[in-house]
Amino acid sequence: MSPSLRRLTPGLILLGGTLLIGTIGFIVIEGWSLVDAFYATVLIISTLGFGSIHPTVVASQLLTIALIAGGVGTLYYLLGMMAQGLIETQAGIRRERRLKEEIRKLRDHVIICGYGRVGQEVVRELRRTGCPFVVVDRDPQRIAGLKEQGMPCYAGDASLDTVLREVGIERARAGGLYAI
């Protein structure tokens, strides 16, 4: 399951539960048909109000109040999660572009092939000395971690010429340091 969907799941479950409770509540309390009860519940949750049907019993009015509180809160939660996902996606795209541009500008850099135990030591040393570098690794989790740290990195197989050209092998000081 994607992280975006995982964040939305609680809100979607809560929204579904609210719709179900409201619909069943209006059927039981008011005796409305399934369609009328669902329609009224959707109108309440969406804050559009009622059309031609109105709750007539105190219990229905209390249910309406609960639906407004729970439904609106749930919708705000879902909208917030969707907005957060959109913002994070846009920030990720910008970060990706910035890293690609940074890699494209590298000159006299070192290409580290693999970010295992040895690759991590090599990166530490290069960072300490201020030497420019780019890490190439096949593991998406390692690459994601490097991107989070803002380190120049590239997801791919360093044994492929196309990948090495992408990270500037022709401009590199040292390329193909296999540090797996």
Whether 135 is in a domain gets the answer: yes
Q: Which residue range(s) make up the domain with 41?
A: 3-94
Compute the CA torsion angle 124, 125, 131, 134 (nearest 10 deg).
-50
For residues 13 and 76, membership in a common domain is answered with yes
Between CA 85 and CA 8 the distance in angstroms is: 10
Compute the CA torsion angle 136, 86, 70, 46 (nearest 10 deg).
-150
For residues 123 and 170, membership in a common domain is answered with yes
For residues 85 and 28, membership in a common domain is answered with yes
pLDDT at position 85 is: 84
pLDDT at position 174 is: 63
Whether 160 is in a domain gets the answer: yes
Residues of the chain with pLDDT under 50: 178-180
Whether 99 is in a domain gets the answer: no
Whether 152 is in a domain gets the answer: yes
For residues 28 and 83, membership in a common domain is answered with yes
Using the 3D structure, point to which of 94, 127, 153 is the last residue of a domain. 94
- Look at the chain and report how many structural domains it folds into: 2
Per-residue pLDDT tens digits for 95-129 = 888 888 888 899 999 999 999 999 999 999 999 99
168 three-state secondary structure: coil
pTM, two decimals, is: 0.54
Residue 40 belongs to a domain with what CATH number?
1.10.287.70
Between CA 40 and CA 53 the distance in angstroms is: 7
pLDDT at position 180 is: 43
pLDDT at position 93 is: 84
pLDDT at position 5 is: 73
For residues 55 and 77, membership in a common domain is answered with yes
Query: What's the chain's average pLDDT?
Result: 88
